[in-house]
């Protein structure tokens, strides 16, 4: 077998680069989908956290304030 011509070598390299490029594009698309899913999940968790904080603040507002105890209260 004779050695491949420079044109054939270049063509082979170009083909490998094209295959690799397609793989990278697929990987990038999958990663982009994951980013979108995680972004939606993060936003939902932030929303739930804000709602929980609001409920907690409402409960805390309903609690009576502690009055400072006087020395006479301790003796009673």
For residue 53, tell me if it sits in a domain: yes
**Structural domain tally of the chain?**
1
For residue 1, tell me if it sits in a domain: no
Per-position pLDDT tens, the chain of length 76: 468 899 999 999 999 999 999 999 999 999 999 999 999 999 999 999 999 999 999 999 999 988 777 666 555 5
- Judged by phi (left if over 0) then psi (alpha if -120 to 50, else beta), residue 54 lies in alpha
Do 12 and 4 contact (CB within 8 A), yes or no?
Answer: yes
Structural domain boundaries enclosing 36: 7-61
For residue 69, tell me if it sits in a domain: no
Q: What is the 3-state secondary structure (H, E, C) of 19-71?
A: HHHHHHHHHHHHHHHHHHHHHHHHHHHHHHHHHHHHHHHHHHHHCCCCCCCCH
pTM: 0.64
For residue 49, tell me if it sits in a domain: yes
């Amino acid at each position: 077998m004779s050695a491949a011509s420079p044109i054939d070598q270049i063509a082979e390299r170009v083909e490998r680069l094209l295959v690799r490029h397609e793989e990278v594009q697929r990987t990038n698309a999958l990663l982009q989908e994951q980013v979108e899913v995680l972004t939606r999940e993060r936003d939902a968790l932030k929303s739930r956290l804000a709602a929980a904080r609001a409920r907690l603040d409402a409960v805390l507002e309903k609690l009576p304030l502690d009055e400072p105890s006087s020395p006479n209260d301790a003796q009673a």
